[in-house]
């Protein structure tokens, strides 16, 4: 169960996310900085809600863990589209 993939883009498994929580991460960006969840092609569109659910249940203090901030560009875009 602990080696199930959570972030498909970056190939991050549940065990790594749980280790990050163990290490003190208490927000989605905290986990992102430790194990790269949400740093791939989809920018967390798939894994962020799951990571938040895991965090919420592990922290168990009833507060909603912080989400990452959306950044521009919000979708993958070729450099040519940005610089022209």
Partner 1 sequence: MKVDVAIIGAGPSGLTAAIEMIENGLTVAVIDEYYRPGGRLLGQHYEDPKAAPDQRVWNGKNIADQLEKKARGLGVHIFTNVTAWSVSEKWKIHLSHPKINMIVSKVLLLATGSAEKALPIPGWTLPGGISIGAAQTFTNLHRVAVGEKVLIAGIDPLSLSVMIEMKNAGIDVAGMVLPPISPASGNHHTPVQTVARLKDVAGLAPNSFIRTFGKYALAWFPRLIAHALRFNFLKVNGVPIHLRKSIVRIEGSEQVEAVILQSVSADGKPVGQAERMEVDAVCLSAGLYPLVDLAETTGCTLVDIPELGGVIPLHGPDMTTTINGLFVAGNITGIEGAKVAIAQGQLAAVSILKSLGKNGSITVQEAKMEMEKARIQSPLRFLPNIDEGRTKLNKLWEKEGVI
Residues that bind partner 1 (CB under 8 A): 1, 4-6, 8, 14, 43, 45-47, 49-50, 53-54, 57-58, 64, 67, 69-75, 77-78, 81-82, 84
Least Å from the CB of residue 20 to partner 1: 14
- Dig out the tokens for 63 from the structure: 């507060």
Least Å from the CB of residue 62 to partner 1: 12
Query: What's the gap between Cα 17 and its chain centre?
Result: 9
Least Å from the CB of residue 55 to partner 1: 9
Tell me how far apart the alpha carbons of residues 46 and 69 are, in angstroms, rounded to a whole number. Answer: 15
């Amino acid at each position: 169960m602990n080696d199930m993939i959570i972030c498909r883009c970056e190939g991050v498994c549940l065990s790594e996310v749980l280790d990050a929580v163990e290490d003190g991460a208490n927000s989605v960006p905290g986990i992102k900085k430790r194990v790269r969840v949400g740093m791939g092609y989809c920018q967390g569109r798939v894994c962020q809600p799951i990571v938040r659910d895991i965090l919420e249940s592990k922290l168990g203090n009833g507060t909603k863990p912080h989400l990452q901030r959306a950044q521009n560009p919000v979708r993958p875009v070729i450099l040519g589209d940005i610089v022209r």
